[in-house]
A = this chain, B = another copy of it.
Amino acid sequence: MNADLGAPRELTGLQRRRALYQPVLPPCIQGTRITMEFGDSTTTIDPKCADIIAQAFPHTFGQKLVHFLGPSMMVPVPDAQVKREQPPLRVGVVFSGRQSPGGHNVIWGTYDALKAQNPCNVLLGFVGGTEGLFAKKTLEITDDVLLSYRNQGGFDLLGRTVDRIRTAEQVNAAMSTCCDLNLDGLIIIGGLTSNSDAAQLAETFAERNSKTKVVGVPVTLNGDLKNQFVETTVGFDTVCKVNSQLISNVCLDAVSAGKYYYFVRLMGGKASHVALECALQSHPNMVILGEEVALSKLTLMEITNKICDGVEARAAEGKHHGVLLIPEGLIESIPEMYALMQLLLHQESDNSAQLSQIDTEQLLAHLVQAEMNKRMKEGKYKGRKFSPVCHFFGCQARGSVPSKFDCDYAYAMVSVRRHLRGPGAVPVGKPVIHPSPIDLKGKSYEVLREKASSFLLDDFYSTPGGIQFEGPGADTKPITLTIEEQDYLGDIKILQDYLDKLRILLKPGCSREILRAAISSIESANDVLKVMSVPLNAELPLYNFN
């Protein structure tokens, strides 16, 4: 384990200015008096999984959703009822997953929240990730410790190691650490695997009557731990911004020289959120999302041919260059490749380790080149010789200084509780959290599809530039979030407003005609909703390459 973890370090000018930035909290968790109300019980997205999950998590499944109330919605509470003297809390925090920008701010936000509540509260960081947790190796978080890690990238305040809390031995070690240190809470910062482990650990701790509450915080660049209540994961914004900057640089390079096709593979795990967001930011000529390949059950040869058709269409317009985005998860979405991978690759700590080993971009570049040469020989393709160049954008984005969005989001993340999502069951063994895929019926994907043909042919490249921390561009959010954010909570608000209006209109005393019209409309709405609640199996057309 690295001896320098958590050590103070010298910051550059930009880092020092970033360290002075105070993240902005949402109004509902500002101040020391936070009011919340309990909502419905949590459930799984796919109702078919609810029973399985309820059986596997008897102590933790179905807890109430917590809703933090904004200042305007707070009911005045007599002073006597406000708990003034809460006993000091002891909380532990561990990095258990691949580094993602903003991870340090989760710790900082937790620390500030704990200290604001009671200066005697203690936050202990486990040094060296899960290994530190098992070995009870701690560093008490203080203002001094945080000094050079506020709003900074990396996970080097505490480091990380094996990212697993799964075997009986590991679970027992974690349990005995929490018990020995008398922890009220354990915060596990990580991605899909770590949050699955956190859910399992919470259940085990609850079953064994441990007083330590386990909370998982979704910190991963993949953006694949999202649902109606969690907009995105910590780090997704930064990584997409850095990648989009680099992709747009490659686009400008491609169009300037006019000779090469760039095959750019992006990190992001099994789901293709990073590729979708980067495509919307940088407008490359083509992007192949794993989700659409899975839906259309495309073979490797079909994908190759789609790309070649795109290259031909561009050549017909005198363009012999292009940029193609490939999510690392694509390979898993191709049925024939998935079978092969299962045979050839070792099972790693989680899928992303496995995925990043496969040079999908090189495989595709090779296949496309072979097919283009064949088409040229047969006289079908009359353009220039096809020249591919491959890139993999991996950890050069992951260690970035976090964007303002990620700084704010991570700092406030302490309030997000681990909760189960679905489809969350695998047929054999323990349930794990599955990556949330791109919603192919959602607005972001619709925007991409609308622009696909322009992206392919018009070199409609967009240059977002690097992450800016000052000036007008500093506050931009991910495009997919901006497109989607009205989708759920916003729509629920709109619906509730309509229902309120109906209630006012339809009080006793309203005319029979109005009442009949209302009953008829609402009956019809009910019928439509009943039909729509049955899962659709209709296949969506593939994102149109040409």
Contact = CB atoms under 8 A, between A and B. Distances in A.
A350 interface: no
A495 interface: no
A125 interface: no
What is the total number of copies of this protein in its complex?
A: 2
B463 A12 contact: yes
Interface stretch (A226-234, A240-248, A509-517): A240-248
Nearest to A467: B466
A161 interface: yes
B471 A258 contact: no
A12 to B, nearest CB: 5
B2 A321 contact: yes
What band does the interface of chain A fall in when counting residues whose beta carbon is under 8 Å from B? 35 or more
B465 A468 contact: no
A317 interface: yes
A246 B396 contact: yes
Contacts of A246: 396
Given A242-B249, A321-B2, A460-B10, A255 B154 contact: yes
A316 to B, nearest CB: 11
B3 A319 contact: yes
Contacts of A461: 9
Interface string A180-214: 00000000000000000000000000000000000
A317 B398 CA distance: 26
A159 interface: yes
A349 to B, nearest CB: 12
A532 B102 CA distance: 55
Contacts of A249: 153, 242, 395-400
B253 A398 contact: yes
Q: Is the interface of A mostly helix, strand, loop or mixed?
A: loop
Nearest to A395: B253
A8 to B, nearest CB: 12
A165 interface: no
B256 A473 contact: no
B467 A470 contact: no
Interface in A457-502: 458-473, 476
A412 interface: no
Interface stretch (A13-21, A39-47, A430-438, A533-541): A13-21
Interface of A: 1-5, 9-15, 17-18, 95, 98-99, 128, 152-156, 159-161, 242, 245-253, 255-258, 262, 317-321, 389, 391, 393-401, 458-473, 476
Top 9 closest pairs, chain A to chain B, by CB: A470-B471, A466-B466, A154-B252, A249-B399, A252-B399, A155-B256, A253-B399, A14-B465, A246-B396
7 contacts: A5-B255, A17-B473, A159-B257, A246-B396, A249-B397, A249-B399, A250-B395
